[in-house]
Every structure is written in C-alpha cells, then in structure tokens.
A and B are shown apart, each in its own frame.
Chain A
Amino acid sequence: MRLTRQPPATPEAAKEMEEKIRLTEITISLVLRIGVSVSVLVFIAGIVVMFVHHPSYASFSGSISYHGLTSGTTQFPHSFSALVTSLSKGQGRGIIVLGTMLLILTPILRVAVAIVSFSIEKDPAMTLVTIFVMAVLILSFLLAGL
C-alpha cells in the first residue's frame, strides 16, 4: 500500500490539491469557531438562569459567599443522568455543564472533520494518523465510564 500522497502530475492537479488543503484548513477553522460560539452562548444562558433562580447570589455586597459553591462538597452534575435531571429541572448549573460538554466536544469534532478531509485529499498516512487519535479519544471516554 502506498502511504505517501500521489504527487500531482500536472500544474492544474497541483493547484487543485492546494485548494483542497486550503479547504481543510478553512473547514477546521470554521468547526472550532462554531463550537466555541455555541458554547459561549450556552454558558451565558446558564449563568443568567442561575442568577434568576437564586436572586440572593446576584448582589455585589450580600452576605452569601461563593465559598459554598466552590468547596470539595459542592453538589453539581457529574454524570449524564444527573445532567439530564438537572436540565429537566431547568437548573442553571445543568445548562453550564452542557456548555462545558460542548466545549470539550469541539476539539474532538475537529479530529473527526480532519479524518474526512484527509480521506477526501487521498492522503492515507494522515487519514490513519487522525483515525488513531480519534480511537484514543474514544477509548479515554470509555475508560472514564462515560
């Protein structure tokens, strides 16, 4: 099996290859931009909902301290089922955790897009490289029990 990319035979083919590579770069850039923008919107929504549900949190000089929300015993969703429960109750913290998941998914989606792009470019070596990275990522989530 050939691992290297087929060298372009004509100047037209070389130009076409360059355009494909450029398209890969633009697609990956776009995926990252969309992932980041969507998660920011979800994060903002989550913060707003949290402060609406807990008006006492939303003052600049109240007696309520943030410490209760950032200690080792603070309760927040850390499994899929807890996340679903929290979201169904319309809790702000659930919405923020959803935003975090979208943020974590963004680089993974970027790897998936690269697999497709490299196989369209007919670049077997880089396609195998990105499939391997994807497999390790999936393994990491399976091992974490997700």
Chain B
Amino acid sequence: MTPLDFVISLGLISIVAGVLGSLIGLGGGVVIVPVLTLLYHVDIRLAIGASIVSVIATSSGAAAAYVREKMTNLRAGMFLEIATTTGAVSGAYLTTLLPTRFLFILFGVVLAYSAVATFQRRRTAAPLTVSHDRIANVLELHGEYYDEAEKREISYKVTGTKLGLFMMYIAGLVSALLGIGSGALKVPAMDLAMHLPMKVSTATSNFMIGVTAAASAGVYFTRGQIDPIISAPVAIGVLIGATVGSKVLGKITSHAVRIIFVVVLVVISLEMLQRGFF
C-alpha cells in the first residue's frame, strides 16, 4: 500500500468514525485506534495520538451545529469541564505510576456496568420537571431543546451535579491514562447521574470532549505521537463525518441514540478487557 492509498482509505474510514462519534458523543477514537493498529499495523503510540486528533475534530466539527440548535447544554458542559480538564491533567502524569493492564480491566468492567445501566434506563428516561440540586439551581444548568424526531420543545431539569462532577473527573483521568475518548463515561454521567435527556447528553459530551482532549494534546505533541501523515486524513475525514452526523442526531429518536450508544459501549468494554487480559 502506497502513502497515497493509505491517505485516501484512512480518510474514507475516518468519515464513518466522525458520523458515529458525533452521534453518540464519544469522538472518533473508538473506530480510529482499532483500525490503525489492527488494519494498518501502525505503532500504538501513534494510533493514540491520532485518536486525540480525531476526538478534537469530532467535537469541534459537530459542536458548531449542536450549540446553535441548543442541543448542547452549554452551561452544564462548561461547568463539568472543571472536572474533566483537571482529570485529564492529573491523568497525563499518573501514566507511569499505575499498571496499565489493571486499568484496562477495571475500566472494562466499569463500562460494562454503565452499558447495562444505560440500557435499563430506556423506559424511565422522562425528563425531570423539578430539581432540588443547589448547584444546578444557582448556576441555572437546566435547559430545553427542540426535538425534531418528536416535533416538540423538551424542557428538562438537571440534578446530581456532585456525582456528575466526580464521574467527569474520572472520565478525564482515564482518557489521559488509557488514551481513549472520555465520552464513554461522560454520557452515562449526564444520563444516569444528572438526568439530562439522552440526545442532550451525547451532544453535550461531544461539546466537552474537545476541551478534555486539548488538555492532554500538548503532552502527546511533545512526545512525538502526532504523526502528520496519519493526522491529516483522520482530521479531514472525521470533520466531514461529524458535519453529517450533527444533521442526523436531531432526526433520530432518543431511544435509537441510546441503543447505538449501548452497543458501542459494549464493544469498547470488550476491547478494554481484551487489552487487559492478553
């Protein structure tokens, strides 16, 4: 395979990664890392660097539309970034202290549990109408959005901000430690702990992952993990895919978004366990 074949084929695969990543708020890394290592046999360190680039591209590419359409809860997202960025910075410097294999297993189990819990919430996912959460009330984190699939305005209240913050810190920490997109924990934190509607959870996660990834991008850059011939096709492809994905999210039902998210979460969980055990 020549460099030209590599650039074109990787660019096309990245479009798919961008569509999927922007729909479920995970970033493109879920697809990019296995494709680069298993299909193209690229060095794992460079694959992780490319994953960071794809996460930032998905985030900025889709967030432009989500923010304008109020699908993203801007205030809740920015508030929770306090925890994700702090987690990402601490994680980048803990890498050498903790055994990676153990982390992969632990994280695989946590994700499997999140997948089950997210799936079970499918019948009880009605938005809250009252909230006694002090932080959410003071910072006015509640919101509303127009659901194109249901053709109505949906307003919701936010709760569980303290638990949400804690889960976001862990999300930032593991994303830096394991080089995987932190959206896998961000969406359950907003859906399960804070009771945001599913679509708002994935759109807000999508908005936040760019900043979380930016907080560890500096380290990846100076360590020489961001290889230009990989990052260019990944970034361009993912940006195209994310633009398409951001037009789809409004039109499909929250239930469908939840099911796609759960399926992808199960796949990542198995991938983590496999990397931990073998």
Contacts and interface: CB of A to CB of B under 8 A. Distances in A.
Interface string A74-110: 1010110000000000001100110111011011101
Contact of B82 (A57, A65, A78, A133): A133
Contacts of B214: 104, 107-108, 137, 140
Nearest to A130: B78
Contact of A106 (B60, B85, B221): B60
Q: Which 9 A-B pairs have the closest CB atoms?
A: A144-B218, A96-B228, A66-B6, A107-B210, A57-B3, A78-B224, A32-B64, A136-B85, A93-B228
Interface of B: 1-7, 40-43, 45-46, 53, 56-57, 59-61, 63-65, 67-68, 70, 74-75, 78-79, 81-82, 85-86, 88-89, 92-93, 138-140, 210-211, 213-219, 221-233, 235-236, 239
B60 A129 contact: no
14 contacts: A32-B60, A43-B232, A57-B2, A66-B5, A70-B43, A78-B225, A96-B228, A103-B60, A104-B221, A129-B82, A129-B139, A137-B215, A143-B93, A143-B219
B82 A144 contact: no
Interface of A: 3-5, 24-26, 28-30, 32-33, 35-36, 39-40, 43-44, 46-47, 50-51, 54, 57-62, 64-67, 69-72, 74, 76, 78-79, 92-93, 96-97, 99-101, 103-104, 106-108, 110-111, 114, 125-126, 129-130, 132-133, 136-137, 139-141, 143-146
B3 A66 contact: yes
B231 A111 contact: no
A74 B74 contact: no
A2 to B, nearest CB: 11
Specify which of B88, B223, B232 lies most central, judged by the most chain A CB atoms within 10 Å of its CB. Answer: B232
A36 B67 contact: no
Given A64-B2, A66-B229, A4 B138 contact: yes
Given A39-B235, A137-B211, A61 B2 contact: yes
B235 A139 contact: no
A69 B139 contact: no
A59 to B, nearest CB: 6
Given A59-B2, A70-B40, A100 B222 contact: no
A144 B216 CA distance: 9
B85 A133 contact: yes
A7 B239 CA distance: 40
Nearest to A59: B2
B56 A104 contact: yes
A146 B235 CA distance: 22
A60 to B, nearest CB: 6
B60 A47 contact: no
B75 A62 contact: no
Given A36-B60, A103-B57, A71 B68 contact: no
Contact of A144 (B42, B221, B227, B228): B221
A99 B232 contact: yes
Of the candidates A114, A139, A141, the one having the most CB atoms from chain B within 10 angstroms of its own CB is A141
Contacts of B70: 25
A51 B56 CA distance: 25
B226 A70 contact: no
B85 A137 contact: yes
B10 to A, nearest CB: 9
Contacts of B223: 78
Given A70-B42, A137-B211, 17 more contacts: A24-B74, A36-B57, A47-B232, A47-B233, A57-B3, A66-B2, A66-B40, A70-B229, A70-B230, A100-B221, A100-B226, A129-B78, A133-B82, A136-B86, A140-B88, A140-B218, A146-B222
B228 A97 contact: yes
Contacts of A47: 7, 232-233
